[in-house]
Structure 1
Amino acid sequence: MDFNFSDEQQLLADTVQRFVRDNYSFEARRAILQGKGGWSRDMWQEIAGLGLTAINVPEEHGGLGNGPVETMLVMNALGEGLVVEPFLAAAVIAPVFLTRIGDKAAAEQLLPNIASGERIVILAHQEPQTRGEIDHVATRAEKSSGGYVLDGLKNVIIGGGAADELLISARTSGRTGDTDGVSVFRVDPKAAGVTLKDYGTIDGLRAADIELKKVTVPASALVGAEGKAFAAIEAAYDHALSALCAEAVGIMKAVNATTLDYTKNRKQFGQPIAKFQVLQHRMADMFLHSEQAKSMSYLAAIKCVDPEAGERRRALSAAKVIVGQAGRFVGQQAVQLHGGMGMTEELMVSHYFKRLTAIELTLGDADFHTQQFIATGAN
């Protein structure tokens, strides 16, 4: 299989890497985190200016019509800089969902603004009991005269506080755990009955818990056919799993580089500790783990659009397990090689480690995806 990138893909990767290097230093990131909201809309506009928010938007809606491989390259670079703007939620999950759901009106109204970066749209799907099981939907949408009434709770919605518009999944029929009966509705975050609690997460990102109490929306707020949204949600989260793996690979690349640099400059017994053979072995193991993770992220990018569901699920779960385990190993080794300083806020390595830890737990941890891998192989 040819793993070489096209000239256009390589140019994209180089452009994003240069942008992150020039605009997202450790000090710049810290200033953004300490600013209002914990992220920067100005930085978001610069990201949009590069065309990155248009990658997963079809050309007919003002996008670039790219796919998972281009997303992988962007996430590699954003991972290296630990970019905190909600790219995964707003530029991957939301546009993929809107493209797959097949609602022409919603696509025409939302996708051009997503592509331009003018509007941040967030799919709020996760609930307290979701974990890796994305078919767990307890939020209800009951029909009323001329519309629907939504009741439920969405939690740890990454980028939820930044949303100009929410796409809320809710059950219009069936029981929790059924894939049929799940619908999605457009909801204004400031609508009556919507309570949004925004907070910071361990890795520097922002998340929100969204409570819906008798939120009335018109029938036109329904996105796609009633009760038929799960396939589009699943497709969006398959892309997200691939993108998360790519982000982790970018972080591991940066962790290996900063650790090697530190060990070359940190001296013990009159010489750099990088010359100690036992530490060289550790760093070699870190490199091997990150290379294996990179290969699995390629697999995830290729397979996340595979029409054969079993093959797709098996590949994505395998990638999530390997990347998660690699991220934990690389992060732990980097912290230890930095000594006590490795856990301080003043060093970037601690922030890398926190983000790798969060990625391993997002959309199902290694244990969950190991079970998924076994289950798909048995079918």
Structure 2
Amino acid sequence: MKRGYGDIRAGHWRGAVLVALLVWLASGSAQAQGPTQVGLRDDAPERYTVVRGDTLWDIAGRFLRHPWQWPEVWQVNPQIRNPHLIYPGDVVYLYYRNGRPRLGLERGQEVVRLSPEVRHIPRREAIPPLPLETVQHFLSAHRVVDDPARVDELAYVVAGDDRRIVSGAGDHVYARGDVEEHGRFGLYRLGERYHDSASGEFLGLELESVGQARWVRREGDIARLEIVSARQEVRNGDLVMPLEPFPLTAEFQPRAPQRSVDGTILAVPDGVHFIGRLQVVALDRGSRDGLAPGHVLAVEQRGELVIDPVTDESLRLPGVDAGQIMVFRAYDKMSYGLVMRASRPLSVGDRVYDPDTAGRVTTTSFMR
């Protein structure tokens, strides 16, 4: 859309993808979760103006001690168009109804003065629940296969053009197997095999992306592909799979799981030893355990292993609260999550659990 002179209400530069806020309170779902009290921060502002770069987690954390409780206090003004979306320039404000805290929304009234020449108004987009660029970059490089037997059924690279052993962007390769015509594909290499540390159960096989390719033509069961991008060299034997979609639905927002979850940090896909904020971790619990994108888990750092000075026994000290993780991709038996808070370095083996577990979450009175 084009505009000339004058003052107009403008949007903001392209941010992250649109993310809708699912309103539990209006649907009654919040009450179904139990009588958890909402803990306001002591320094919670009366009003906060949203800025570009904010996430839903950031905004919730300005008002609440536990950001995943946002849906319990969010109130929708039906007079506002698309009230479930929050944009830069909007104002989130704190008020009370029947003695309970609520958060409301005022649409931003920012005005931009244009110069005489014609300009394009950039499209305004809603804030995301967390740094989506971090999540999308990871998901484009990693995926999990729940059943390792499926790997034997996947198409694979058999050769490169001109007898190349390795290929890169712009090169052509030949793949054998089930490759759909006129599609775009991911090229993957076998990665980590994950198992439950206690039972030994297979949880998932991680595949690491080496690039992407597009279909060119087929002769018999051999397909010719053009490599359109490459993270590293493409080799014979690399797997060929349709690209995995990355849906970010209205459910992708901070909230506690609907049922009790107790698991551990399974691995750090990027091989980091000490885990901090905004790093991705693999968890040994998945959709079969009730996890879904947006679910928040508390982290308990494993207690130190010590020797009893009297009995010489090996003892593990009690664990301590260490942070929170938000799940962004749930497979059947495992999931990936992003560390949203880390009060101390996390590590593989640390416990993750439902933050609403009785006796584990400290709440404060919502009365002032």
State whether TM-score is above 0.5: no
Q: TM-score with structure 1 length normalisation? A: 0.26
TM-score normalised to structure 2 length = 0.26
**Larger Rg computed on CA atoms:** 2
